[in-house]
Structure 1
Amino acid sequence: MRGPSLPVSRFDRIACHSGEALSLPLDKQIERPLGQDRPAREVAPRAAGMLPGPGRVGGVLLAGAVLAAGGVIALQPAPWRQPEPEVASTPADQPAPQPKELATNTEPPERTAPAAPSIIRVPDEDSSQNVIVIRDPSALGQDLRVAHLPDRALLEQSAHGPLPIRGADGRRPVDVYARPWSGARGARVAIVIGGLALSQTGTQAAIDKLPPEVTLAFSPQGNSIGRWMQAARRQGHELLMQLPLEPFDYPNINPGRSTLTTQATAGQNIDNLHFVLARTTNYVGVMNYMGARFTADRDSFAPVMRELGARGLLYLDDGTSARSLANDLATASRVPYAQGDTPIDQERERGKILEKLDELERTARARGFALGTGSAFDVTIDAVTSWVAEAKRRGIEIVPVSALANDPEKE
C-alpha cells in the first residue's frame, strides 16, 4: 500500500552528469529504480563514428615510441647485444656440412637383430697403414661365464662319443674355446701344464692354484675328465687334450692306451685319435705325449694332421724332438701350430723350475714370446703360481697357448 502523498511543493534537487538541476517530487524519487541517476557512459569513438580523444592519441603515440626504441636497441652492436657467430660461407653448389653427432631423424630406428660383439684393435706401431682392424668375434673365445658348456653346433656323435667339428658357419673349436687375451705385442709367455685327471688331488690343486692364464692339458688315461674340464673352464683355463704318440723303444716305453703308432694303419690311428678326442669337450686342440718316432714318420703323421685340420683343432708340439715334422705338416693341413721352447720341470726342484721359467722370460723379451711345458706335480704348480705373479709385475703377459699359435687360416 502506498503511503500518504507529500506536498507537491517539496522537491529535491538531483544533479545530473551535465550539471543541470532536475526537480522531482520526493515520492517519485523513491519509486525510481536504483542506478537511474548514474551518468550515461561515453560511446566508443569507433561505434559512434567519431575520432579518438586527445588522451587516446597520446597513448598510441607513446606505444609507438616504445616499440621504435626497442627496435633500435635490437639492431645495435655490443654492448646492447652479443654479436652473431661468424659462419663460413658455403658455395651454392655444395651442401652445407652437417654436424656429425646431431641426430636429425626423430623416428625410432628399424629393429634389427643384435650384432655379435667385436674387438676393435689399434694397429701395430710398425703398420704402414693408419687403419682400425675389426677382428672376427669368434676370435674372442667363449664367454667364461658359460665356458664349461659345449657348443652343440661344434659336436658330432661317434662310436666313441661326441667329437669336435667345424660348425656349419665355419667356426672352429680352436676359436670358440680359446681364452681371450689382450692382443698386445709385448713380451708374452704361455705355460702348459699336462697330466691332469691322472691324480685327483693333483688335478684339483692345479685348477685351484694355477692362474687362469695357464693352459691345462688332460691325459686321456685319466678319470672324471668331463667333471674336471668343467671345473677348469669355470676358472678360466684354456684346455688341450694330450695325444699319446709312439716314442722310440716302444712298447718298452708305452704312453698308454690308444697310442698312435707307425705300425698301425691310417684308419687305426684315426680311430685311436677319435677315442682321445671324445674323452671330453671344450678344448682348443691336442699336444703330443711322447711321440719322437711317430712325429718323424710322415706317412703315419700326415693323415692325423689332416684330420685335426678338418676338425678345426690346434696342434702343440712340446719341442722335445728335433726330428718332428709337425710344423711342416700343420702348415700343409692348415692346422694352427705352436711349439714349446723348453720343458720346465725335467728336474723336479723348485729352484731349477724357476730357472727354466726365467729362461722363458728372457726368450720372450728377446723374441716377443716363449712357451714352456710341464706336468701337474705339486712342486711345479707352486713354482709356476709364484713365478707368474712376479712376472706380471715385471710386465710379462701370461697368455694361453692359442695366442702363440701360427694359424694358416688367419695369415
Structure 2
Amino acid sequence: MEPVGNGIDQPLGQEKARTHPLRRRLLPPGRLALLVLSLAVFGGSGAIALRERPFRDPPPPALSEPQVAGAVEAHTPREPAENKPASGAPGAAIIRVDPQAPPPGGNVVIVRDPSALGQNPRLAHLPDPALVEQSDVGPLPVRDAAGRRPFDVYARGWSGARGARIALLIGGLGISQTGTQEAISKLPSEITLAFAPLGNSLARWMRTARQEGHEVMLQVPMEPFGTPSGSTGKHMLRVAAAEEENLQKLRWMLARITNYTGIVNYTGARFTADRQAMDVLMGELGRRGLGYLDDGTSARSVAQEAALASGVPFAAGDAVIDAEGGRGAILERLDELERIARVRGFAVGTGSALTLTVDTVAAWAQEVTKRGIELVPVSAVAFDPERN
C-alpha cells in the first residue's frame, strides 16, 4: 500500500497520472506557442534594423533618362557649394540647364558644358580655338559665336567665399628667363602673372604658367608723363597717335600670347588720363571679351569710367608692393593690403618679378591664409558690367 500522506491532496476517486520522465521537461503547449511567436517578432525586428534602409525610408524614385551635355560642373564662385548635393544622395536627378540660368533648388546634379564656364585645368595651357581670331599679326583673342569671353574661359577658379580676399599680380614676366622661371615655380598658383609683350619665349612661359594653375594677363605699355623710356617706345600707346595707329599697336601686343583674361597698363599716367584715348582702348577690349586692371599708380586715371562704359570687367590696384626697395617695405605694403581686405572685403596689389619681390611674396603667401585671408586671381575681384 502507498503511504497515506502521499495522496492527501489528490481528489477522491482520481488516481494520479504517471508522466514519462522526458515529457516533464517540455513546455506546455500554450507557453511553447507564445515562445515561437516572440521569436518570430524578434527576428522580424532584427531584419528591419539590419537592412541598409529601413522600411520607413521609401526607395528613391527612378531617374528619368538624362540629357547629358558634358561633365558635372566643378564648383565656381557663381554657384556656391551648398547648392550641390552630397555624393550618393537619395533622389538625385541629372538635368540639363542653361549655363547662365540660376541653379534650381532641391537635390540635383547640374550637368553643364565645361567650355561654357571655364577651361579644364588639365587643358589650361592650350588656347580655345573658338576664342582665337587668326590675323596678320598673330592669334588675337575674341568672343566666340555664343558670346563666351576669354575673360571667363581663362579665369582661374576660386572658392566664392565672402571673406577677406587679396588679388596679387606680379608683372614683367618674359623679360628675364631666370626671373620668369622663379616667379612661376615659387609663387602660389593663386597669384596672377602678367607678361610683357616684348619678352622672350612668351608662348612657352605662358603654357608653363597655365599648367601651374596661374591666371595670366598681358602688360600693355602706355604713354606716361615725361619722356618714354627704353624699348617700349616703339609699341607704346600714345595720346597724340591716330586711333587706327593705336589699335594696330594694341592688336600686335594682344597677339603675343593666348590664354589670358585681360590687360594691365605698364606706366601710362598720361594715356590713362585721356578719356578719348581710353575709350578707343576699352572699345577694343570690350569687343574681344577682355578685362582691364588699372595698376593704381595714377590718381588721374579715367580707366574705370571708360571700362564700364564699354562693358569691360575692371579692377584697380590698391598698392604697388615693391615701389620702394627692401623686404621690409614690401611687407608693409602687403600688411596694407590685408587691412584693406578686412575692411572692404578685398584688396588688389601689383608688383614686379624681381627676385626679392618673388621671394618675399612666396613666404608671405604661406602665412596670410592662416590669418583668414584668401588669395584669389584678379578676375575674382573685377567688377563685371555684363554680370552686375
2:311 aligned counterpart, secondary structure: coil
- Map residues 92-131 of structure 1 onto 2, 5 A cutoff: 102-104=60-62, 109=65, 112-114=68-70, 117=73, 119=75, 120-121=79-80
1:410 aligned counterpart, secondary structure: coil
Does structure 1 residue 238 correspond to structure 2 residue 215?
A: yes
Match of 1:380 in 2: 357
Asked whether the equivalents of residues 142 and 287 of structure 2 are also in contact (C-alpha less than 8 Å), the reply is yes
- Partners of 1:180 and 1:208 lie apart in 2 by 19
Match of 2:370 in 1: 393
Match of 1:268 in 2: 245
What is the CA-CA distance between 1:257 and the residue it aligns to?
Answer: 3.0
Does structure 1 residue 180 correspond to structure 2 residue 157?
A: yes
- Sort the Cα spacing of 1:115 and 1:101 in 2 relative to 1 into closer, same or farther, 3 A: farther
- Sort the Cα spacing of 1:394 and 1:175 in 2 relative to 1 into closer, same or farther, 3 A: same
Counterpart residue type for residue 373 of structure 1: T
Root mean square deviation, CA, Å: 3.1
1:151-177 CA distance string (max 9 Å, x none): 011001111100000111221101111
What is the CA-CA distance between 1:308 and the residue it aligns to?
Answer: 0.2
Choose which of 144, 162, 172 in structure 2 pairs with 1:167.
Answer: 144
What is the CA-CA distance between 1:146 and the residue it aligns to?
Answer: 1.3
What is the CA-CA distance between 1:195 and the residue it aligns to?
Answer: 0.5
What is the CA-CA distance between 1:299 and the residue it aligns to?
Answer: 1.2
- Map residues 202-351 of structure 1 onto 2, 5 A cutoff: 202-251=179-228, 255-351=232-328
Taking every aligned residue pair, what percent have the same amino acid on both sides?
55
1:126-161 CA distance string (max 9 Å, x none): xxxx97898985686322211111101100111110
What is the CA-CA distance between 1:352 and the residue it aligns to?
Answer: 0.8
- Sort the Cα spacing of 1:79 and 1:188 in 2 relative to 1 into closer, same or farther, 3 A: same
- Partners of 2:260 and 2:192 lie apart in 1 by 10
Counterpart residue type for residue 321 of structure 1: S
- Partners of 1:114 and 1:218 lie apart in 2 by 33
- Partners of 1:224 and 1:252 lie apart in 2 by 23
- Partners of 2:72 and 2:154 lie apart in 1 by 16
Choose which of 131, 135, 145 in structure 2 pairs with 1:154.
Answer: 131
The unaligned stretches of length 5 or more in structure 1 are 1-68, 86-97, 125-129
1:336-392 CA distance string (max 9 Å, x none): 000000100011201110111011111111111001100011100010000010101
1:386 aligned counterpart, secondary structure: helix
- Sort the Cα spacing of 1:100 and 1:169 in 2 relative to 1 into closer, same or farther, 3 A: farther
* TM-score of the superposed pair, with normalisation by structure 2: 0.75
2:347 aligned counterpart, secondary structure: strand
- Sort the Cα spacing of 1:123 and 1:288 in 2 relative to 1 into closer, same or farther, 3 A: farther
Counterpart residue type for residue 164 of structure 2: A
Does structure 1 residue 366 correspond to structure 2 residue 343?
A: yes
- Sort the Cα spacing of 1:347 and 1:117 in 2 relative to 1 into closer, same or farther, 3 A: same
Does structure 1 residue 403 correspond to structure 2 residue 377?
A: no
The unaligned stretches of length 5 or more in structure 2 are 1-28, 46-55, 84-103
Counterpart residue type for residue 102 of structure 1: P
Counterpart residue type for residue 357 of structure 2: T
- Map residues 23-34 of structure 1 onto 2, 5 A cutoff: none
Counterpart residue type for residue 73 of structure 2: P
- Sort the Cα spacing of 1:184 and 1:264 in 2 relative to 1 into closer, same or farther, 3 A: same
Asked whether the equivalents of residues 140 and 179 of structure 1 are also in contact (C-alpha less than 8 Å), the reply is no
Give the greater-gyration-radius structure (CA).
1
Asked whether the equivalents of residues 348 and 380 of structure 1 are also in contact (C-alpha less than 8 Å), the reply is no
- Partners of 1:268 and 1:280 lie apart in 2 by 21
- Partners of 1:335 and 1:135 lie apart in 2 by 29
- Map residues 16-95 of structure 1 onto 2, 5 A cutoff: 81=41
Asked whether the equivalents of residues 206 and 376 of structure 1 are also in contact (C-alpha less than 8 Å), the reply is yes
- Partners of 2:359 and 2:341 lie apart in 1 by 22
- Partners of 2:165 and 2:174 lie apart in 1 by 27
Match of 2:99 in 1: none
Asked whether the equivalents of residues 246 and 254 of structure 1 are also in contact (C-alpha less than 8 Å), the reply is no
What is the CA-CA distance between 1:395 and the residue it aligns to?
Answer: 1.5
What is the CA-CA distance between 1:253 and the residue it aligns to?
Answer: 7.4
2:233 aligned counterpart, secondary structure: coil
1:263 aligned counterpart, secondary structure: coil
Counterpart residue type for residue 274 of structure 2: D
- Partners of 1:315 and 1:185 lie apart in 2 by 23
What is the CA-CA distance between 1:232 and the residue it aligns to?
Answer: 0.7
- Sort the Cα spacing of 1:216 and 1:102 in 2 relative to 1 into closer, same or farther, 3 A: same
- Sort the Cα spacing of 1:113 and 1:355 in 2 relative to 1 into closer, same or farther, 3 A: closer
